[in-house]
Amino acid sequence: MENFFLTFGIGWVTSKIIPFLLMLILGIGLYFIVLKILKNKWMRLSSLVLIVLPTLTYLVFNPIYQGDFTDNYRTEKITSRLYELEDERLTILVLPGCPYCEEAIEQMNSLRARIGSEQEIDIIVCTADKNDLKFYKKKSKGQMNVKISKNTRALSELAEREFPSFVFRKKGKRSRVWSNFQFGAFAKDWVEEHYE
């Protein structure tokens, strides 16, 4: 349901909250409908469960993760060892065969569609094997620049060996770095805002 709201240009945070509010409204509506139908006092009282039932059901299928509503990033000064990070763009640091990295690329495809084709997003695969690029090129649907790491050690240190990691390099300023569990809705809204 979040993706539905994202397609209308609604922000990531708002798109995450709206479904829960809609489910709560649905639950309240169901409660009042059942309240009019039922005459038994205990049955009417037990129908209060209907208020939270749709929201809980939605949560089962769309859980809230630790980083969804936080923007815990750290700032880093980008040194000359990290020359492959481009200014004014998001770079995703990934490993070959990393399932979390694969999931992140799917989300980045949505972000990519929202920021426009003239804006660049890079994927740097921390590997020495060029064959590892094929998977990410396919996964990104050719919409992102997929590159092999030129300095895997420096990038791994920047990522604090947590993959995927997301780096937004601002020219002349300290860069923002997020690990996978920190790159939630607030971070995505921030990135979109800074691409404009």
Read off the tokens for 146. 């997929």
Which tokens is 158 given?
């920047």
Query: Is 68 within a domain?
Result: no
Half-sphere exposure of 2 (CA within 13 A, CB side): 19
Structure tokens at 35: 């309240």
SS3 187: helix
| Domain-embedded: residue 129 | yes
Same domain for 168 and 93? yes
State whether 87 and 40 are in the same domain. Answer: no
Question: Is 37 contained in some domain?
Answer: yes
Q: How many residues does the chain have?
A: 196
The per-residue pLDDT string of the chain (196 residues; one tens digit each, 9 = 90 and over) reads: 888 888 888 988 899 899 999 999 999 998 888 888 877 777 777 778 888 889 889 989 888 877 788 778 988 887 777 888 888 889 999 999 999 999 999 889 888 888 887 788 999 999 888 888 999 999 998 889 999 999 989 999 999 999 999 999 887 778 899 998 889 899 999 999 887 6
Residue 82 and residue 169 share a domain: yes
Q: What is the full DSSP assignment across 134-164?
A: HHHHHHTTT-SEEEE-S-HHHHHHHTTT-SS
Quote the domain boundaries for residue 97. Answer: 74-195
Instruction: Tell me: do 94 and 115 sit in the same domain.
Output: yes
In a shared domain, residues 119 and 173: yes
Measured in whole angstroms, the distance separating CA 31 from the mean position of its chain's CA atoms is: 34
Q: Are residues 102 and 151 in the same domain?
A: yes
